Structure 1
Amino acid sequence: MKKRHERTIYLEDKPRHEALQECLTFIDQQKKTTEVLPVAEAMGRVTATPIFAGVSNPHYHASAMDGIAVEANRTQTAHESRPLHLKNGADFAYVDTGHAIPSPFNAVIMIEQVNEAGDDVLEIIEPAVPWQHIRPIGEDITYGEMLLPQGHQIRPVDAGALLGAQVLDVEVKQKPKVAIYPSGNELIQPDQKAEPGKLIEFNGTIFSGMVESWGGIPMLKPIVRDDREKIRQALIEGTTEADIVLINAGSSAGSRDYTKDVIEELGEVWTHGIATRPGKPVIIGNVNDTIVMGVPGYPVSAYFVMEWFVEPMIHAWNGQPTPVKPVMNVIAGRRMTSNMGSEDFVRVHIGKVGDQYIANPLSRSASVTMSLVKADGIVTIPPEHLGVEQGDLVEARLLKPKEQLDLTTLFSGSHDLSIDILSSVMKESDGVSSITPSHTGSLAGLIALQRGEAHIAGIHLLDPATGEYNDSYIRKWLKDLDIIKLPFLRRSQGLIVPAGNPEHIEGIEDVTREGIHYINRQKGAGTRVLFDHLLKKHEISPDQLEGYRREMYTHLSVAAEVMVDHHSCGMGIYSAAKAVGADFIPVGDEQYDLIMTKTFYESERGQKLYQALRSEEFKHKVESLGGYSVNENVEPVAIEN
């Protein structure tokens, strides 16, 4: 039993391509089995041997047209000045497309090119040439020809050709079986109650879907607890049933991560730690002549490890190359830092602004699944680089079609729930339009517009000198641009407190009380500007607040934090408090505007957005959240600089 203070030590930071090559070399040496399937069940499978035609297609001389079959040499005198008369049965026979050509006929005249001249008598005005409009035997498929080579993935059109040649069954490579073992004492199934300290297990479902999409057979197993003997038994079971075994979690340097030791006990460890971020703590080894892989528990790390190793292994097992992922050049909208010596894989939003594609990084945490859900692409920073500077041209691997990115509207600025609803209403209208939000704060949104890195910005910036919202900031930061403002929304700002308000907070003065933990918004956020204004108005120093420097990037993040700390509060909007069941103490209403260039406003996308803002559906959905008043008759306001 490993003592509490003992820690697993990484063997090395091996380059991932080197670690992969070891796996592929092993896979290449494995004996592969085959199976015979009916053609109709074999689509998507890979042929194990060449497949040859059982019959020709067509296997007779077939008419290619509706018309009459004739002997070509007996039609040579036909001319429009001397029509030739033909008698049914003696000189011609009626045929339809696909009919066999009766002997002794050797040509077909289309029915549109004949005229009736009497009972069972037709006339033609031009001669036929031998074999016109006739499909000869074997025109499509010739008996004995190779239809598909070995190692070919059968497509629907291939299945049609096989059946057309009367090939009813095919020998295909058996798909590799991949056993998937989630592990950890903290894991529960999705249908169980989530108590503090318990995590919902969903990686196994992700892995299963990925394995199946790549051509493998997933075998998702029950959760294995953090017990050395249970992990040992799981690996013994998995390596007797499957061709590849994955154990999720238990691959890091924790004191209870037994996977590496058990693999060493039962077989050998090839790799423990690769030079990537995320995805570093991967374990790869061999047990019972079967590849065993310890996949990191964090979802983002796990996703990349699956793509880097399991996908190419499955394709190699099936004798197929790993598909090349589409890439495109993008401009870095913000700086992306990296560590020297490790490949870094940054999830990004991508949108087309003007004639450039802009990429803005999402959360870098390996535990944030939504960074993969929301990502449009992946930017890879090589190990010899320290990062990417704003404005640099970089290559991104696309996770969504380029055509979809062309229709995406990039939003930067203050977080508001109405933006998600606006995106949904736009997509409902045409099925393709959408908004990709980047919750950077109001000031950062204006700067993104100024730099041409976003189409629209959402802002609510109070000018303490005038008591008005937004216009002074627009003139300061966007003074060289023709700007349109859409003042479409008023919303209620206030203090979000735990349900029941256990600390009896009634106003701004109460957040200074001892024991109250304040949860702040980031610098540049409109809510932060408002809160700092209120502190100054009440002659309160930020140093009097416990937690003032703890920052969140969205209203929902503030509300969620408040609900798990009964001694906390934070400034935010009413709809966020309502969404999590928190209480809300109003401070006042504020104006929330959408800002864009005049060029974007007048574009097709800009007009679609404007119409969605003015729709009754948008107004109803937003106001049903509570704390909102939507101006469905909003008119564009040109900001003169």
Structure 2
Amino acid sequence: MKRNIYLDTVPMDEAVAKVRALLDRHALIGTETVPTHEATGRVTAEAVYARLSSPTYHSAAMDGIAVCAERTFSAREDEPLRLAPGEFVPVNTGNALPKGMDAVIMIENVVMNADGTASIEAPAFPWQHVRRIGEDIVATELLIPQNHELNAYDIGALLSAGIWELSVRERVRACFIPTGDEVLDFHDRPEPRPGQVVESNSQVFVSLARAWGIDARRVPPVPDRPEALTAAVTQALASDAHIVVIGAGSSAGAKDYTRSIMESVGTVLVHGIKAMPGKPSLLGVADAAHGGKLLVGAPGYPVSAVVCFEELLAPLAAWLEGRVRGRRRTVEVELTRRVPSKLGMEEFLRVSIGHVGGKHVATPLSRGAGMITTMTRAQGICRIPVNSEGVDQGEHLRAELLVPEEALERTLVTVGSHDNTIDLLADALMGLENPIRIASTHVGSMGGLMAVKNGSCHMAGTHLFDPETGDYNFPFIKKYLPDMDTVLVNLAVRHQGLIVAAGNPKGITGVADLARDDVRFINRQRGAGTRILLDWHLSQAGIAPSSVAGYDKEEFTHMAVAVNVLTGAADCGLGIMAAARALGLDFAPLARERYDLLIPRACLDDPRVQAVLALIKTEDFRTRIEALGGYETALTGQIMTPGLPLP
């Protein structure tokens, strides 16, 4: 089985420089004439010179009277000067200055007398409150240089100078070709079978490209057959596109044909960049017979593809059109946990960011290259340098913001155990008059306690059961946060149990069944309250964890456990009834437990926290919780005290 091997990875800036050195942008990108009023965002192809002056006449800059300044020099506060009709002319702002007049006196400094004269107490000086011809623009002067990206203010200046149309560079045009036997066209609204995926990378690219001013389009998915792929690429190169992007097929798989196809129509300059995700990216230039166009091989994993688009394609497209590439705003953030990294690779780390206790805290999200939802949940991206083996908890980095900085002040940071009620809360908070966004990170109940201890969040979801006292959360707070002032508020009482396939084909009814040879289990991560609950029940049943097939296989949310059961990857997993119900699965009850919100008292008066506490006390929100199934709301919104029994 032949595979592509790419060992010569290069830094991203070097990759871009290699392509720029070979691309002839002046031959590739032409010019066109467009109406001035439609030219915002376009790049001038040549210098623009003013045709008209602005203003084109001497004009009044204020409401008042126009006068000849020399005739007013005798005016004094103690001896006002009376101007007879004809010695002054009333004018409004923008009026042409009457012949013989060279100054304007503001109306508030003029007393109009009953006899038609005007009295002034101070002299005017020549050209006072007058906009002279050409004050702003002088005909024939340089107005806009070449290679200037036009903004709204430029359009106003151009029209004022009598420029009705102008020559600009063509918009960069790009064609995206999705590839893969497993790829389904989203236009068909398909229902994927195992081994199939809905094609979406093209629409991520098209949306990004249009935001960058690129005219982007996509063709239907092409199967992994060299002749079909070659035909699609050749057709795209024959079109008016300046850039041809081949989606997927850039890695080292036996059906990854992108490199060979690029080599058949041009030169491959880069195969592999020193970045994670994004390493398999390809860059090349088509030969003269195919227009000398830019060729891009984007990785198939969504987040890898985004790195390719943003770090390689975007700067090249901006350079082609003569634009200055914009940069995102950055803020300094404090990482909430340690993140190891591979030496020699620049890593793009998606993070959830919020403003907590006077600082910006960033919680790393999942690093999987295939997890596009980490982009939707991220408020920023941190770059771990090439020469670093990682960053420690508490270390400070710069984060590129994916949202306006002001949005961080409206972000509530929650860290801890996952629960479906947090999703309800996130939606309800965004429906408020002043919307609040939840940035939630699922690291388990113990992880939530540590985040509260480190000042990394506004609240933490926790449901830690202590067998010795029979109490929830307080024994753990006492042990791990002994000197910290916190408040514990109940969100719901929930039902935990074994999530099993619809119809429960294997007859799984309790923990004892987990020791059976024919039962495959899916577990929660270490530190999760659900994991702690499972371990207690296993010990009560005298079952060793090692005898549970799948005990070492972990997921981070109840919904992920349920999906494993739904797809047959596991026969059962411990989770909440709401997750089972959401996916049409069966449920064997095991325990009722409190799911509480742990809040540092220092955050209690924060408007975001107060909004949560007010919301969860409403009847409407309690009804929504109960509608999920497997929840009770008798304690919802109440402040908990040690030893409080379940209702």
1:327-347 deviations in Å (ceiling 9; x for gaps): 333222212112222222221
Would the aligned equivalents of 1:502 and 1:566 in 2 still touch at CA under 8 Å? Answer: no
Give the match for residue 50 of structure 1: 47
Matched, 1:283 2:279: no
Choose which of 64, 67, 72 in structure 2 pairs with 1:67.
64
Give the match for residue 107 of structure 2: 111
User: For 2:483 and 2:205, how far apart are their aligned partners in 1?
Assistant: 50
Give the match for residue 201 of structure 2: 203
Give the match for residue 248 of structure 2: 249
Decide whether aligned partners of structure 1 residues 638 and 400 sit closer, same or farther in structure 2, where only a CA change above 3 A counts.
farther
Choose which of 364, 375, 378 in structure 2 pairs with 1:375.
378
Give the match for residue 16 of structure 2: 20
Matched, 1:494 2:489: no
Decide whether aligned partners of structure 1 residues 184 and 94 sit closer, same or farther in structure 2, where only a CA change above 3 A counts.
same
Would the aligned equivalents of 1:484 and 1:638 in 2 still touch at CA under 8 Å? Answer: no
User: For 2:167 and 2:264, how far apart are their aligned partners in 1?
Assistant: 38
User: For 1:291 and 1:49, how far apart are their aligned partners in 2?
Assistant: 24
Matched, 1:129 2:121: no
User: For 2:629 and 2:272, how far apart are their aligned partners in 1?
Assistant: 49
Choose which of 409, 429, 434 in structure 1 pairs with 2:432.
429
Decide whether aligned partners of structure 1 residues 514 and 37 sit closer, same or farther in structure 2, where only a CA change above 3 A counts.
same
Q: Aligned-pair distance for 1:576?
A: 1.1
* Matched residue SS, 1:104: coil
* Matched residue SS, 1:519: strand
Choose which of 147, 150, 154 in structure 2 pairs with 1:151.
147
Give the match for residue 448 of structure 2: 445
Choose which of 181, 184, 193 in structure 1 pairs with 2:191.
193
Deviates more, 1:413-422 or 1:540-549: 540-549
* Matched residue SS, 1:118: coil
Would the aligned equivalents of 1:493 and 1:572 in 2 still touch at CA under 8 Å? Answer: yes
Decide whether aligned partners of structure 1 residues 580 and 53 sit closer, same or farther in structure 2, where only a CA change above 3 A counts.
same
Q: Aligned-pair distance for 1:634?
A: 3.0
* Matched residue SS, 1:421: helix
User: For 1:399 and 1:564, how far apart are their aligned partners in 2?
Assistant: 34
User: For 2:589 and 2:548, how far apart are their aligned partners in 1?
Assistant: 20
Would the aligned equivalents of 2:351 and 2:364 in 1 still touch at CA under 8 Å? Answer: yes
Give the match for residue 212 of structure 1: 210
Matched, 1:176 2:172: yes
Deviates more, 1:334-343 or 1:455-464: 334-343
Give the match for residue 268 of structure 2: 269
Give the TM-score normalised by structure 1: 0.94
AA at the equivalent of 1:594: L
User: For 2:95 and 2:479, how far apart are their aligned partners in 1?
Assistant: 80
Choose which of 501, 525, 534 in structure 1 pairs with 2:528.
525
Would the aligned equivalents of 1:483 and 1:639 in 2 still touch at CA under 8 Å? Answer: no
1:250-295 deviations in Å (ceiling 9; x for gaps): 1111111111112222222222222222111122222222221111
Decide whether aligned partners of structure 1 residues 359 and 82 sit closer, same or farther in structure 2, where only a CA change above 3 A counts.
closer
AA at the equivalent of 1:48: A
* Matched residue SS, 1:589: strand
Decide whether aligned partners of structure 1 residues 170 and 456 sit closer, same or farther in structure 2, where only a CA change above 3 A counts.
same
Would the aligned equivalents of 1:28 and 1:316 in 2 still touch at CA under 8 Å? Answer: no
User: For 1:633 and 1:558, how far apart are their aligned partners in 2?
Assistant: 25
User: For 1:260 and 1:306, how far apart are their aligned partners in 2?
Assistant: 17
Would the aligned equivalents of 2:449 and 2:460 in 1 still touch at CA under 8 Å? Answer: yes
User: For 2:273 and 2:625, how far apart are their aligned partners in 1?
Assistant: 47
Q: Aligned-pair distance for 1:29?
A: 5.1
Decide whether aligned partners of structure 1 residues 53 and 588 sit closer, same or farther in structure 2, where only a CA change above 3 A counts.
same
Matched, 1:38 2:35: yes
* Matched residue SS, 1:264: helix
Give the match for residue 228 of structure 1: 226
Q: Aligned-pair distance for 1:638?
A: 7.1
Paired residues in the alignment total 635
Deviates more, 1:342-351 or 1:507-516: 507-516
Would the aligned equivalents of 1:413 and 1:457 in 2 still touch at CA under 8 Å? Answer: yes
Give the TM-score normalised by structure 2: 0.93
Q: Aligned-pair distance for 1:108?
A: 1.9
User: For 2:348 and 2:76, how far apart are their aligned partners in 1?
Assistant: 76
1:537-548 paired onto structure 2 within 5 Å: 537-548=540-551
User: For 1:97 and 1:108, how far apart are their aligned partners in 2?
Assistant: 10
* Matched residue SS, 1:43: coil
Q: Aligned-pair distance for 1:516?
A: 1.8
User: For 1:129 and 1:383, how far apart are their aligned partners in 2?
Assistant: 66
Would the aligned equivalents of 1:613 and 1:632 in 2 still touch at CA under 8 Å? Answer: no
Q: Aligned-pair distance for 1:434?
A: 2.4
1:558-597 paired onto structure 2 within 5 Å: 558-565=561-568, 568-597=571-600
Deviates more, 1:295-304 or 1:425-434: 425-434
Would the aligned equivalents of 2:489 and 2:638 in 1 still touch at CA under 8 Å? Answer: yes
Deviates more, 1:198-207 or 1:339-348: 339-348
* Matched residue SS, 1:429: coil
User: For 2:626 and 2:477, how far apart are their aligned partners in 1?
Assistant: 27
Q: Aligned-pair distance for 1:79?
A: 3.8
Q: Aligned-pair distance for 1:188?
A: 0.9
Q: Aligned-pair distance for 1:552?
A: 0.9
Over aligned residues, Cα RMSD in angstroms? 2.1
* Matched residue SS, 1:48: coil
Choose which of 44, 64, 88 in structure 2 pairs with 1:92.
88
Q: Aligned-pair distance for 1:363?
A: 1.0
User: For 1:77 and 1:350, how far apart are their aligned partners in 2?
Assistant: 68
User: For 1:318 and 1:44, how far apart are their aligned partners in 2?
Assistant: 11
Decide whether aligned partners of structure 1 residues 256 and 566 sit closer, same or farther in structure 2, where only a CA change above 3 A counts.
closer
Deviates more, 1:20-29 or 1:216-225: 20-29
Give the match for residue 349 of structure 2: 346
User: For 1:246 and 1:150, how far apart are their aligned partners in 2?
Assistant: 29
Would the aligned equivalents of 1:498 and 1:566 in 2 still touch at CA under 8 Å? Answer: no
1:40-84 deviations in Å (ceiling 9; x for gaps): 110011111111111111111111122222222333344454444
1:286-365 paired onto structure 2 within 5 Å: 286-287=285-286, 288=290, 289-365=292-368
AA at the equivalent of 1:13: T
Deviates more, 1:435-444 or 1:353-362: 353-362
1:467-512 deviations in Å (ceiling 9; x for gaps): 2211111101110211111123211112211222222323333333
User: For 1:334 and 1:24, how far apart are their aligned partners in 2?
Assistant: 39
User: For 1:624 and 1:330, how far apart are their aligned partners in 2?
Assistant: 38
AA at the equivalent of 1:328: V
User: For 1:479 and 1:336, how far apart are their aligned partners in 2?
Assistant: 27
* Matched residue SS, 2:306: helix
* Matched residue SS, 1:602: coil
Q: Aligned-pair distance for 1:435?
A: 2.1
1:11-53 deviations in Å (ceiling 9; x for gaps): 5222322211111222355423111111111001111111111
Would the aligned equivalents of 2:23 and 2:285 in 1 still touch at CA under 8 Å? Answer: no
* Matched residue SS, 2:154: helix
Give the match for residue 136 of structure 2: 140
User: For 2:4 and 2:142, how far apart are their aligned partners in 1?
Assistant: 55
User: For 2:362 and 2:569, how far apart are their aligned partners in 1?
Assistant: 39
Unaligned 5+ runs, structure 1: none
Give the match for residue 397 of structure 1: 400
Would the aligned equivalents of 2:545 and 2:551 in 1 still touch at CA under 8 Å? Answer: yes
